[in-house]
Amino acid sequence: MSMPAGWYDDGSGRQRWWDGARWTDDYAPVHDAGSPQPGASAQAQAPSAPPAAARRSPILGFVGLGLAVLGTILACIPVVFGIGVVLLLAGFVVSLIGLFTKGAAKWPSIVGMILSVVGGVIGVVVLVVTLLANAPAPIDTAPATSVPSPSAEPSDPSTDASDSRPSPEEIAEEFAATIRAGGVTTYDDMPEFYPCVGQFLYDSDLSDEALRLIIVGDDPPESERAAAEKAITDAVLTCDPQP
């Protein structure tokens, strides 16, 4: 059975503190009146219990906490975000070392480690929000639709004879030239005849292509040949003032 903790003679004639399991390095002071008598009770022989070890100041914990606070502040400023991250990392490491320091308070180290992590997250969020807010507007890469110049716009039928319906005046002029080329001069003395024919053919259901072919003396498309012959006949009968 182990002896209880107390002051005992360790065999050297001095009183030494027994902690209940082993001898410690604490010796009782030697008095002039002599050392305690053998056989006296442990309580009577013990001058006093050894003083408890002094609690160490958590210096590293406070240093780590300070670095975490400063790092959090700088990490929330985008222009010095990198410096803030470095300080947060340093604060976490110092706080971790302080957490394992014996005899020192642990709470500054714990708070410093937590603040280092939380400060890093807050700094990243602030940085991302700032970058998104200041990002330039996306450039539209779709090909721009060119606005046709006035010269490319469809022209009036009277000015562009290649891809639109000829005007009544153009029909009258071309039709007259074709008739005269065939040796017919009967209608030269009828100034209203050719304009009347031009307007009549213009108002007909003939296509633009058929009209162009007719007025220059060519055959219209096969599908409109019968309609073209009828339109010309009706035009002549309508515009000829003679019975």
pLDDT tens digits, residue range 121-151?
Answer: 998 999 899 989 988 876 666 665 655 555 5
Greater model confidence, 77 or 23: 77
Cβ atoms of 214 and 228 closer than 8 Å: yes
What are φ and ψ of residue 186, in 5° steps? Answer: -60, -35
Degrees to nearest 5, angle at CA 243 with 168 and 174: 25
Q: What's the pLDDT score for residue 157?
A: 43
- Pick the range with the lowest mean pLDDT from 7-21, 40-54, 81-95, 206-220: 40-54
pLDDT tens digits, residue range 143-168?
Answer: 656 555 555 444 444 444 455 888 88
pTM above threshold 0.75: no
User: Does the pLDDT of residue 51 top 60, yes or no?
Assistant: no
Average pLDDT on 192-197 reads: 85
Of the pLDDT bands very low, low, confident and very high (cuts 50, 70, 90), residue 90 is: very high
Q: Three-state secondary structure along the chain?
A: CCCCCEEEECCCCCEEEECCCCEEEEECCCCCCCCCCCCCCHHHHCCCCCCCCCCECCHHHHHHHHHHHHHHHHHCCHHHHHHHHHHHHHHHHHHHHHHCCCCECCHHHHHHHHHHHHHHHHHHHHHHHHHHHHCCCCCCCCCCCCCCCHHHCCCCCCCCCCCCCCCHHHHHHHHHHHHHHCCCCCCCCCCCHHHHHHHHHHCCCCCHHHHHHHHCCCCCCHHHHHHHHHHHHHHHHHHCCCC
Mean pLDDT of the chain: 78
pLDDT tens digits, residue range 96-111?
Answer: 998 888 878 888 889 9
User: Does the pLDDT of residue 32 top 60, yes or no?
Assistant: no
**Identity at 195, one-letter amino acid code:** P
Q: What's the pLDDT score for residue 160?
A: 45
